[in-house]
Amino acid sequence: MTDAVTTVRVNDQAQLCVEAIGERGNPALLLIGGATWSMDRWDDELCHRLADHGRLVVRYDNRDTGRSTSYPLGAPDYGTPDLVTDAVAVLDALHIDRAHVVGLSMGGGIAQRLALGHRDRLATLTLISTSPIDPEIESLPPPTPEIQATFSKAGPEPEWTDRDAVVAYVVEGERPFAGPGNFDEARLRALAGRVFDRTNDMAASMTNHFVLADEGSTDTPLSRLAGLRTLVLHGTADPMFPLGHGKAIAAAIPGARLIALENVGHQLPPPHTWDLIVDALIEHTTHA
């Protein structure tokens, strides 16, 4: 198995740090992270387990995260369409014609737009802890009151050059989003330290994705994805996008399969779910 890190340039606008884990020529899994997510959020062990099952796992730092291009604080010079273009650029740079695309949270929105706009580049689609962008879907359950309070009563930001302060800030920021019994402080603290050490601009990385222009839904219903093998993984305790969001996606895409993850919140599914996750992803991407 090989791990290869490269830099991908996108239309002379941005540079993305990309890592491919596994053997070239194996079916590719393209992992698209959520808001503020660098590639580090896709856990090394999970990625290597997928690679051990014969997949080429591709993860990358979104703009404003990790070692990819960062933008002035509060003024990102890009929007959601550019993030979709970034995903295509990663596939092009690695000479991947079609990939099994996996998107989580904001990455799930990007993955849906990628599937609608670049259907020929997808072998399968997997959506984790995300919300449908279908203009025909209404009345989705809102975030829990606790999460709404988190957004409305944000505490003071840390000194962004202070590693210990930033690590503590990131860890506490994750606490309300985890499902019952699924907040692993030690694991998150180690992850936050790694993210800090790899990130060009922590302030921008924790801010800019939240001030992108609201793209909302598309003009195209998800039913247009009929025939695209789709898997939906969604936590039963997701406080940001309650389970109804995952159910709505699965109902909107003909033939989609929903797996509800018991007590998982708005987070990368925790390690105790990985046997299930890996088996589901390998099965999903084998018969496409």
Q: What are phi and psi for residue 100, nearest 5 degrees?
A: -85, 110
| Catalytic residue check, 95 | no
Give the whole-angstrom CA distance, residue 59 versus residue 17: 9
3-state secondary structure labels for all residues of 201-259: CHHHHCCHHHHCCCCCCCCCCHHHHCCCCEEEEEECCCCCCCHHHHHHHHHHCCCCEEE
**Which helix or strand (DSSP H or E) is residue 19 part of?**
strand 14-21
Cβ contact 286:125 at 8 Å: no
Which of 53, 209, 234, 266 is catalytic? The answer is: 266
Q: Give CA 20 to chain center in angstroms.
A: 16
Which of 38, 68, 70, 105 is catalytic? The answer is: 105
State the DSSP string of 58-111. EEEPPTTSTTS----TT--S--HHHHHHHHHHHHHHTT-SSEEEEEETHHHHHH
| Catalytic residue check, 131 | no
By C-alpha distance, which of 87, 104, 63, 122 is closest to 241?
104
Which of 68, 238, 245, 284 is catalytic? The answer is: 238
| Catalytic residue check, 279 | no
List the catalytic residues.
105, 238, 266
